[in-house]
Amino acid sequence: MKTYNEIKLAQELIRFPTVKTEDKGIMKFLSKKLSAIGFKCKIIKSKGIGPKPALNLYAKFGNSKPHINFLGHTDVVANLNNWKIPPFKGVVRKGYLNGRGSQDMKGGIACFISSISTFIENKKFKGSISIIIAADEETTGLGTPAIVKYLKRRGEKIDFSIIAEPSSNKSVGDEIRIGRRGSMNGIITVFGKSGHSAFYGSYINPCTALAKIITKIKSASLDNGTEFMPPSNLEFTKINVDNLSENVVPQSASAKFNVRFNSKHKSSNLKKKLNKVINSVAKKENCKTKIEYKVSGEAFYTKPNKDIYMVKNIIKKITGNSSKLNCRGGTSDSRFLGSIPRLELGLRNTTIHMVNERTSVSDMKKLSKIYYNILENYFL
């Protein structure tokens, strides 16, 4: 059996310019690496950006219980100009691995593959280890759902999942994500009656109705938050009136918004609440409305359990620091895992999506050690 060094593997992964859903051969590369240490690999297609499908990977070692999973994504954001070191060279300099994806999240993938390879080489255990690698976390977000559907068809059940998102802040493991708030975008369009502003009573102003709707929505609190999640919040992000004249009342006015909601809500319930407020105000103003929603993900939360406390204890033993459990951040592929108990634990989030993204080599070594100890404590 082979074992893989996390730094060398991360360098190799960074050298695949996998912007958006472009594969560039990375899934074939990973399949070959994982097959060499005993994994059975399956490439699963999902809709990509452009004519080519996105290629995602599901790999599994063993067939018995318990079943632990590691999840990552190979796609990276662009922002590739003005780098001091070329973004896809994977250069190690002065104790740092430089390159796009070094923190988010090819570095994390390299750490868990390295740890798994060492664990399989050195330990005999009963259970299964699986790996999900998505190609589109930063864009379409269809890869992980495609793999989850594949697992459901096969009747496979994951008992615990670790997502290698860069969750750490000042030191590796100082923060563990045990949930994320949901995200929903919306557009409210209010239709009135156009007319010249000089002729009061001949028009119905949709701007007035929209302003009242915004005021009504913003004046009400959605909730007070939970133990690990902040209060839900709705923010209006764009207001548009398709009108070039100052003395003409427009036919319509619209506003875009985003809601970040905690585990007290489902998107369906929020839609009902918002629809009630919007339609009530519009009716009083004698206006009609059109309301559109797009849900990026529901809120999810894993109640702290023995596995989460086990991870906290390992981090304390290795780093000397106590991990803070929280639900900070935007959305991630973790939102697609349904009721699977899970947490997010990865490298520090200091330069993700930025020019000159880089990660500390010592951080990677530390994270690999944490992952290895998680496997050891989980199975042995």
Task: Give the pLDDT score at 347.
Answer: 98
Taking the C-alpha atoms of residue 179 and residue 167, their distance in angstroms, rounded to an integer, is 11
Q: Does residue 58 contact residue 150 with C-beta atoms inside 8 Å?
A: yes
Domain range annotation of the chain: 6-180+299-379, 182-297
Report pLDDT digits (tens) over 125-142.
999 999 999 999 999 899
Prediction pTM value? 0.92
Report pLDDT digits (tens) over 318-337.
999 999 999 998 889 999 99
CATH code for the domain defined by 6-180+299-379 = 3.40.630.10
Q: Does residue 333 contact residue 296 with C-beta atoms inside 8 Å?
A: no
Closest of 38, 116, 9, 28 to residue 71, by C-alpha: 116
- Residues in the chain, how many? 380
* Average pLDDT rounded to a whole number, residues 110-120: 98
Range list of β-strands (E), the chain: 40-46, 54-61, 67-73, 92-93, 96-98, 128-134, 160-163, 175-177, 179-180, 182-191, 195-196, 233-240, 248-249, 252-261, 288-297, 300-301, 324-326, 342-344, 358-360
What's the distance, CA 101 to chain centroid?
14
* Average pLDDT rounded to a whole number, residues 34-52: 96
The topology (CATH level 3) of 182-297 is: Alpha-Beta Plaits (3.30.70)
Closest of 298, 300, 312 to residue 374, by C-alpha: 312
> Angle of helix 6-14 relative to helix 106-122, nearest 10 degrees?
140
Confidence of residue 283 (pLDDT cuts 50, 70, 90): very high
Q: Which helix (H) or strand (E) holds 213?
A: helix 206-219
Phi, psi of 288 (to 5 degrees): -105, 160
39-45: list long-range contacts, CB under 8 Å, 24+ apart: 39/131, 42/150, 44/143, 44/146, 44/147, 44/150, 45/146
* Average pLDDT rounded to a whole number, residues 240-262: 95
Q: How many CB atoms lie within 10 A of CB 57?
A: 24
Q: How high does pLDDT run on average in the chain? A: 97
Task: Give the pLDDT score at 244.
Answer: 83
Q: What angle do CA 244, 246, 251 make, to 5 degrees?
A: 65
Closest of 68, 7, 10 to residue 311, by C-alpha: 68
User: In the chain, how long is the greatest CA-to-CA distance?
Assistant: 85
Instruction: Kindly list the catalytic residues.
Output: 75, 137
Beta bridge partners of 61: 129
Confidence of residue 243 (pLDDT cuts 50, 70, 90): confident
Q: What angle do CA 222, 260, 21 make, to 5 degrees?
A: 165
